[in-house]
Amino acid sequence: MKKTYSPLIAAILAAVLIIMISGCTGKVTTEKELKSATENIQVILQSKLSNLNNTIAEAAKNISKSGVQGEETLKILNGVCKKYSYLVDCTVSDPYGKIISAAPDSYRRFEGTDTATTETSKKFFAESAKIRKPMLSTIFRAVEDIDGVVLVWPVITEQEELLGYVSALFKPEDLLEGTVSSAAKIRAIKVNVNQVDGTTIYCSNGTETGKNLFTDERYKAYPDLLTMGERMKVQKSGSATYTFPSDKTGQPVKKTGVWATIGLHDTEWRILSMAELGN
């Protein structure tokens, strides 16, 4: 007999998982503990990305047989959206970026919409068509009127014909929030998830989401922080100390930052955990 779990039990199991993945409970007091917490967050977030990637790959494979539109294709897309509640929508587009099929039903109004409307998006689809490989975008303004990230898999038939792409659109915070915010609270740390260009796509306390380390005025007075940012561009993991205002007092204090990397298809995100160690 198949077991079922109530929402309460599911929530308890999720909470236990977060505690386990955080390494242990309580405030971090050493760089070693900060590194451990960061690496454990890295493990669960990479697993989330990889699971989504595998599902979209399977969807692309199935749609290569069902075609880019029709009842069976919509069933596949709706199945993906139901499996991953954080997705905004799941679509199939033609090789040039025009949406052919969309799910859930509330997003079918975007069918026929051209998503390649900017130089960046045109370049994205042109590159995708050329290499015929899956891609994870950087954050951008989608036609659905949100700032999101899209995971794209090409739909290629057995005859090697490119029919188009399966895309899964999501807001980074919807993927990251449950894991990162819980771990940050348990370990009393702050966690940012950054693109390698310095853009913060998620901040555990919300104060830095959307800001760019290299262009935002608030960071220019802190050279040690900028030096750490330059290292993060090229180093997948590391640690550094720097001075920056305390989130509690607003006064400059010494902080420690530890970072690790997650990503898909050559797109990388840095997980940066920060703490005032010893305070």
| Range 49-172: architecture per CATH | 2-Layer Sandwich (3.30)
* Confidence band for 26, pLDDT divided at 50, 70 and 90: confident
Q: What is the pLDDT of residue 128?
A: 80
Cα–Cα distance measured from residue 153 to residue 68, given in angstroms and rounded to the nearest whole number: 13
Asked if the domains at 28-35+174-275 and 49-172 fall in one CATH topology, the answer is yes
Tokens of 7: 């929402």
For residue range 104-145, list pLDDT tens digits in order: 999 999 999 999 887 878 888 888 888 899 999 999 999 999
Q: Could you confirm whether domain 28-35+174-275 is CATH 3.30.450.20?
A: yes
Segments making up each domain of the chain, as ranges: 28-35+174-275, 49-172
